[in-house]
Structure 1
């Protein structure tokens, strides 16, 4: 008995992992074809030749599936941009920011369904779990962006300007606590500046992912690069 239970369990786990990944892949495709509301456990079960009851053993509710998708997608994005940043020397502060930004755009264009899932319209009726669907990945992304502002604050010839009326109470307590722990010397205005930085990265990419930019320019990559170089200059990192 004991000589077969290990391999049998391992095979069962592999099959379950494969089925789970197939469910997620189909869900993202359904969303790309019909929008966020098109994700349906019953539709996925039909496509896989499973009963709805069998599918519920993988994801009890549609919201459980969506939360798993969001966590996977957000983690993939964060790991990609962090790897691009960390491939550049620590002293190359402008290069690290540009590498993050370019990796963000490249990932988004290669994964438009994932981009729409985490940055597009909310899925109708979706209730995320307490703390959000991908709290660790979101925290890492925010900390990474604040890190660029921290570099500018510490190493630029002059600290970048921030709003005089910014206060820690402007931000969710968990975000404020995480930033203050990682960067205890930064003022709250640095967080607001990081959010503005994120908005500039996100804006042009969102237009491109949704197909609105190619009608205006043949080279959205050049437009984005120029915007990111302007971000670098505005932070005093050039």
Structure 2
């Protein structure tokens, strides 16, 4: 339902809920993390009053996580739209924007990509899972578009047989995160390449976020540029040949 379709009471409730989420997000960097009592105190309400809007601390944490995922997806779309000439340009821009956002929002990065609450009893869990899915789907869709547009090298059936069996494991979290690919036209060998590329992208970003890369390399983005070019090559993007590869990366790094 749009805001225009809400009653006055519903709009007031939504406004209060938005304020709770903003206040909670502002406390992510505080010692001890989120606290319902601290949030209520900052908002000038009682802790029991807060429970009229949130089911629990875990539920509020899921709400905050959902809002952060929504923000990240918006950032990715904005970056991609600035370089809309091709899916290759869009994915390079979005990957760089993701890195920049993560460096500026360490606590939010930790909440979304390190700390995970997966309690199905929490009513906020479904909305959070859907929001996280939109984030993953953004990169997956661009990846598949690039593959359809210009198929890149993937392992042969013989080379891939053992890995395929491992990926087909029902306990493989990749299947849950990308269940839309199961029984789809996207071969498992292509999914395997996506998993490799995503692991490298997430890996370099996480290393930089957590201070495991020397500051000069982070500030210059030299290591990120090298990893990005390597990832691009894996999916058939020649960083030297893609028009404006360096300028796309440089443009997003400067924002």
TM-score interval (norm. to shorter):
0.7 to 0.9
> Paired residue for 2:219?
219
- For residues 1-238 of structure 1, what are the structure 2 equivalents within 5 Å? 10=8, 15-34=12-31, 38-89=33-84, 92-122=86-116, 127=119, 129=122, 134-156=128-150, 158-161=152-155, 163-164=160-161, 165-167=163-165, 169-170=168-169, 171=172, 174-180=176-182, 184-215=184-215, 217=217, 219-238=219-238
Deviation larger for 188-197 or 169-178? 169-178
RMSD: 3.0
Tell me how far 1:223 sits from its aligned partner.
Answer: 1.9
CA contact (8 A) 1:160 1:236 kept: no
Local SS of the residue matching 2:27: helix
Provide the rounded CA distance (Å) in 1 between the counterparts of 2:19 and 2:136: 30
Tell me how far 1:157 sits from its aligned partner.
Answer: 6.2
Deviation larger for 23-32 or 169-178? 169-178
Local SS of the residue matching 1:57: coil
> Paired residue for 2:248?
none
Q: Provide structure 2 residue ranges, at least 5 long, that are not aligned to the other structure.
A: 1-6, 239-255
Deviation >6 Å, runs of 4+? none
Tell me how far 1:116 sits from its aligned partner.
Answer: 1.4
With over 3 angstroms needed to count, the CA separation of the structure-2 counterparts of 1:22 and 1:141, relative to structure 1, is: closer
Tell me how far 1:101 sits from its aligned partner.
Answer: 0.4
With over 3 angstroms needed to count, the CA separation of the structure-2 counterparts of 1:132 and 1:18, relative to structure 1, is: closer
Q: Provide structure 1 residue ranges, at least 5 long, that are not aligned to the other structure.
A: 1-8
Aligned length: 222
Provide the rounded CA distance (Å) in 2 between the counterparts of 1:87 and 1:156: 22
CA contact (8 A) 2:65 2:128 kept: yes
> Paired residue for 1:5?
none
Query: CA deviation digits over 1:147-191, x for unaligned, max 9?
Result: 34424433446433374332563345554541247xx32112322
Tell me how far 1:102 sits from its aligned partner.
Answer: 1.0
TM-score if structure 1 supplies the norm length? 0.77
